[in-house]
Structures are given as structure tokens and as C-alpha cells.
Structure 1
Amino acid sequence: MGIKSFQGARKNQQSNEEDIPFKVKDFMSTKLITFRPDQSVEEVIDSLISNKISGGPVVNDKNELVGIISEGDCIKHISESRYYNMPPEDDRIESRMVKDVETIDGEMNIFDAANKFLNDKRRRFPIVEDGKLVGQISQKDILKATIMMKSQNWKK
């Protein structure tokens, strides 16, 4: 006699892609720690350390993205002032932030975003809608998305 295996009632095998979130906007962070261009590098360093983040978007009074500041930008600032044994000339992050910021669309497929992280070697991408910062997606958000999707539609 052969082995019988009972698997129970099977779920409907048709998958509706609209039920499964695949877009950047479904996984992006919306409660962001942002910075202002007139803040000092020291303030930013304190915030990065206390919030355990590696950088963040810089916005103006209208919540428009004007740059991005990272730990590396802050380290460069400190290193240059220490190298010349001089106090920093301009301590505002406006002079240290990256101003030409690459953003991605919130409607982008999460897998395309993952590929963009690999190709562009970035840690985070801001998401802007109608000129305003609405969120940010990080490499960690991509990893969380893949774990969530695995539980929904990949075989374990």
C-alpha cells in the first residue's frame, strides 16, 4: 500500500497582485528625522547618534528636499578641521550636505528599487511627491519587504 498524504483544503491558487504590496510606497518610512540647512554639523552628529541612524534628508521650511546629510559628510567636516588644526569655517550642514540628491518614485516596484540600491550603491533614497518629501526607503526596508512577501507568496 502506498503512502497517503493529506494536505487539507487548499486555498484558491489564483493570486491577486493588488492584494500584495509591491511598491516602494508600501514599504517606505514616513516618520523621518529630517534636518534643516542652517543646523550645525554638531547638532546633526548628536541626532545621528541618539537616533541610531546613518543620515537623513535635509528640507527647507516648505518640506521640500534640498539635500541629504550622512555620517560620512560629518566625518569629512571634522577631519578637515582637525587636519588643518583650525576651527571649522562654516559649521552649517548646508555647506556639507549632498545637494544633488537622487530620488525614486513611490510607485516603483520594490524589486526595481532593490536593483537600484545595488547599482547606485546608496543606503537610502528619498521619495518626493509634488515637490515635497513624503518618505524614504532604505536597504533595510527592502529586506523587510522581501521577508514579508516571502511569507505571503513564496514556498518556505
Structure 2
Amino acid sequence: MSKRTASDIMEKNFVTASPETSVFDLVNMFVKNHITAIPIINEKEELAGIVTDADLLYKKVKPHVPHYVNLLGASIYYNGISEYDKGFKKLMACTAKDMMTKDVIIAAPDAEVEQIAGVMVAEHLKVIPIVKEKHIVGIVTRGNILDELYREYGDD
């Protein structure tokens, strides 16, 4: 039996965004489509980067949580709620370009599923874009890998 490849298991329908897409719109895309990563495509339709749900949560939102000091048992905000509000508004004004990871780990359509699974585990990735001549042709998610494992061993 020939080894299964990325093109055998990849999702061919996937959501992409442009570098100019606002964070507000990205959040909406994550929620509406129940996805964990969005490949960012430039005007030549080439892969330019990727934004994950973790990027939105950790990179930008966390530093904007109001800092407070505990003084004699009372919580004193020293940059206030209005600062938090401003921080959040600033975040929502960011674009995909500001948030995306530019060094994306990608695989070719003929990459073996086992190799992809190994890289995903080693690099803690949820998604690997499948790229042919700079153009994204699909994505492989952890779910695809799990389905494949089930397919392979579920029959035994």
C-alpha cells in the first residue's frame, strides 16, 4: 500500500485573508468558521503568512489587560479602564499583517502524512498549509491527522 500524502487528507476548502484584513474581521472569521488558523494571501495569491487564534489571544490582548497593584488589600488600577479600552480599540485596528507569522512551516502536496504529523507534534502546530509553487492548495489540520490515524488503525 502506498503511503498517504498531504493531498490525500488536506482540506481543499479553507478560509484565507489578505494582509489588510482587520483583526476585528479576523476574529469574526475564526468564530464563524470554527477554525484555528487563517492563511494570509498576498495580491499575487501567494502565501504571505498565517494568523492563529493563539496569535490573537496571546500576542496582543494579554498585554492590554489592566495592570493593577494590590495596595493595603485594595486593587488600585494604575492605567485605568480607559487605557484598557484604548488598548483594545488599538488591537481591533490592527491588521493581519501586524499579527501574522511570516515564517510559516509549509508542506508540499506529496509530503507523507507521517512526516507532516511529526512536524506538527515537534513544532506544536495546529495547521500546516500545503503549498505548490507558492500558492496554497490546501491545509492539513490536527483533525485531518487524527482522522487519518483512525482510518488506518480503526479497521483493525
TM-score bracket, normalised by the shorter chain, equals 0.7 to 0.9
Matched, 1:78 2:57: no
- 1:87-129 residue CA offsets vs partner (Å, 9 max, x unmatched): 4175111011111111012211111211111111111111110
Superposition map of 1:39-78 within 5 A = 39-75=21-57, 76-78=59-61
2:103 to 100, 103, 111: 100
RMSD (CA atoms)? 1.9
Structure 2: which amino acid aligns with 1:136? I
Structure with the higher strand share, 1 or 2: 2
Residue 115 of structure 1: aligned partner: 118
2:16 to 34, 44, 47: 34
Structure with the higher helix share, 1 or 2: 2
Superposition map of 1:121-140 within 5 A = 121-140=124-143
Q: Percent identity?
A: 21
Greater relative contact order (Cα < 8 A, sep 6+): 2
Q: Answer whether contact 1:35 1:58 (CA < 8 A) is retained.
A: yes
> Aligned pair count?
135
Gaps of 5+ in 1: 1-16
| Cα separation, partners in 2 of 1:93 and 1:80, compared to 1, 3 Å | farther
Q: Secondary structure at the match of 1:49?
A: helix
- 1:67-98 residue CA offsets vs partner (Å, 9 max, x unmatched): 10011221232334454533417511101111
Q: Secondary structure at the match of 1:88?
A: helix
